[in-house]
């Protein structure tokens, strides 16, 4: 179960463009080294424990649910683990990062005054820029790194964790799953037939899970309300600042209403006018923009936002009705130094995360946004080099389509379409020159 429900059309490709632009993160890059996820032994140990945990869980479920339901659950939890194992092996999660340490501290604090929190709780930090958190069916919690770009302080992270713990305590995902199995028992549409989901390369095991049980809108909404209520009780038992529970939700409500940033033509000219390979005006030629209609795009954005906005507003109202102490509005606490450090890391990891999920085209677009703002220029120029190297390989191997979107006038902002036109206009020689220049392989 997740923290906020984000419309499926609003995939992380769109989301990554909605980066908050702040001006106070300066001179961090000189010393910044992207997180190392190569810790093989930690991952191996984790998977071993997770597999045992999953097997114990299955055994318990088979005792509780006999016959067909038990068998289906076993099949489902085994499939889930296979997917999850793939994600872990693919290094989709960090182990032993600053994030892990801080999250572990929060959980220790929460456990002190809440005996109902499971003892063997495990939280993983995902290399994902989307601000969200999940509770996997086996009780493992996933916190996306992107969340740290949208929350203000440690208390807000604690509030998100509390919401997820509540889902777990209330066995929400299991309940939905059992109901679905029982309802489908009469026809052939059983759980395994619900696989009609297209999971992208960077999709997590949770995507599959989510798609399988998300048919139940009303019930899911009720579960969210229950997770908020119990979550808030856990939260306030632990002495975190109460209002931050609402502030966190409010932050997430804002996140998809920020309009995509525009990349100016001058930015292209300044970044791609390189020695011995001058900028060419023809690179900026666009396919016919007459198909482009801002109202249409706006409508799409609104529709994508609809799924989460009223939903979050409703959740806030429900919380305020139930807990009168939440009927105040107060600014978020200033982050302590520790949390500021996590915010910086999350920001610096935006590009490594896009690189990890092989979103090379989008990575270039995002790097250009940072460079347009003159933020940590050396760092983002380094990423331009690495990304253009990948684009060059893809172009050489005729599979650029995998890493660079096609222009879709109805689904993309004008600025993103301009970017895509630019990228597709580049010749293989142009790409090579840019790649070499930014990865400092050229003579210049």
Pick 130 or 404: Cβ nearer Zn ion: 130
Looking only at residues 387 through 426 of this chain, which bind Zn ion when binding is defined by CB under 5 A? Answer: none
Residue 58 is a binding residue for Zn ion (CB under 5 A):
no
Q: Which two tokens stand for residue 108?
A: 């220790």
CB neighbour list of residue 82: distance below 8 Å, 6 or more residues apart: none
Strands across the sheet with 93-94, in order? Answer: 93-94, 123-126, 141-144, 133-135
- Contacts with 386 (C-beta within 8 Å, 6 or more apart), sequence order: 355, 439
Burial 415-443 (b: 16+ CB within 10 A, else e): bbbbbbbbbbebeeebbbbbbbbbbeebe
Q: Which is nearer to Zn ion, 156 or 357 (CB)?
A: 156
- Which residue blocks in 307-402 are alpha helix, DSSP H? 309-322, 337-348, 350-356, 360-372, 377-396
Nearer Cβ to Zn ion, position 224 or 375? 224
User: Does 1 participate in binding Zn ion (rule CB under 5 A)?
Assistant: yes
Site for Zn ion in 156-175 (CB under 5 A): none
Q: How far is the CB of 430 from Zn ion (least distance, A)?
A: 46
Please, which residue, 2 or 19, has the CB nearer to Zn ion? 2
**Minimum distance from residue 166 beta carbon to Zn ion (Å):** 8
Rule CB under 5 A: which of 295-314 touch Zn ion?
Answer: none
Q: What is the greatest pairwise CA distance in the chain?
A: 73
| Contact status: 142 vs Zn ion (CB under 5 A) | no
User: Which residue number, 207 or 224, has a Cβ lying nearer to Zn ion?
Assistant: 224
- Residues in the interface with Zn ion (CB under 5 A) total 3
Residue 227 or residue 394: which is nearer to Zn ion going by CB? 227
Instruction: Return the ∠ at Cα 383 (arms to 379 and 387), rounded to 5°.
Output: 175
Q: Minimal distance in Å, beta carbon 409 to Zn ion?
A: 35
Q: How far apart are CA 1 and CA 209, in angstroms?
A: 9
Between residues 53 and 221, which has the closer beta carbon with respect to Zn ion? Answer: 221
Task: Provide CB contacts within 8 A for 413, sequence distance 6+.
Answer: 17, 260, 262, 297
Q: To the nearest whole angstrom, how small is the minimum distance from the Cβ of residue 227 to Zn ion?
A: 5
Q: Closest approach of Cβ 410 to Zn ion, in Å?
A: 31
Interaction pattern, residues 187-226, with Zn ion; x per rule: CB under 5 A: -------------------------------------x--
Window 224 to 253, contacts with Zn ion (CB under 5 A): 224, 227
Q: Which two tokens stand for residue 57?
A: 């869980």
Binding site residues, Zn ion, CB under 5 A: 1, 224, 227
């Amino acid at each position: 179960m997740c923290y906020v429900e984000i419309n499926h059309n609003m995939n992380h490709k769109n989301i990554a463009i909605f980066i908050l632009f702040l001006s106070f993160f300066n001179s961090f890059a000189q010393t910044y080294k992207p997180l190392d996820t190569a810790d093989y032994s930690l991952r191996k140990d984790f998977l071993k424990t997770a597999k045992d945990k999953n097997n114990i869980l299955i055994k318990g479920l088979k005792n509780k649910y006999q016959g067909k339901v038990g068998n289906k659950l076993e099949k489902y939890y085994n499939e889930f683990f296979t997917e999850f194992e793939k994600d872990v092996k693919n290094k989709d999660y960090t182990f032993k990062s600053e994030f892990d340490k801080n999250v572990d501290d929060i959980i220790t604090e929460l456990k002190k005054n809440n005996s109902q929190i499971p003892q063997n709780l495990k939280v993983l930090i995902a290399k994902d820029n989307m601000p969200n958190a999940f509770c996997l069916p086996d009780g493992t919690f996933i916190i996306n790194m992107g969340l740290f770009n949208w929350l203000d302080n440690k208390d807000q992270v604690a509030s998100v964790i509390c919401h997820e713990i509540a889902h777990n305590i209330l066995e929400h995902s299991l309940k939905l799953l059992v109901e679905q199995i029982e309802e489908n028992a009469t026809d052939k549409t059983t759980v395994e037939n619900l696989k009609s989901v297209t999971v992208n390369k960077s999709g997590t095991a949770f995507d599959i899970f989510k798609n399988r049980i998300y048919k139940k809108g009303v019930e899911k909404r009720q579960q969210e309300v229950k997770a908020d209520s119990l979550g808030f009780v856990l939260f306030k038992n632990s002495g975190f600042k109460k209002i931050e529970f609402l502030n966190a939700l409010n932050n997430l409500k804002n996140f998809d209403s920020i309009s995509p940033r525009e990349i100016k033509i001058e930015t292209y000219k300044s970044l791609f006018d390189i020695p011995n390979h001058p900028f060419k005006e023809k690179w900026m030629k666009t396919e016919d923009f007459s198909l482009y209609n801002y109202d249409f795009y706006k409508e799409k954005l609104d529709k994508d936002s609809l799924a989460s906005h009223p939903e979050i507003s409703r959740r806030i109202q429900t919380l305020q009705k139930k807990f009168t102490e939440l009927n105040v509005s107060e600014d978020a606490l200033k982050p302590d130094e520790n949390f500021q450090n996590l915010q910086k890391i999350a920001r610096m990891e935006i590009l490594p995360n896009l690189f990890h999920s092989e979103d090379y085209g989008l990575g270039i677009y995002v790097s250009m946004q940072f460079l347009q703002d003159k933020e940590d220029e050396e760092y983002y120029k380094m990423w331009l080099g690495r990304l253009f190297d990948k684009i060059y390989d893809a172009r050489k191997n005729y599979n650029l389509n995998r890493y660079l979107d096609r222009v879709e006038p109805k689904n993309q902002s004008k600025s993103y379409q301009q970017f895509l036109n630019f990228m597709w206009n580049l010749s293989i020689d142009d790409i090579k020159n840019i790649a070499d220049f930014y990865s400092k392989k050229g003579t210049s």
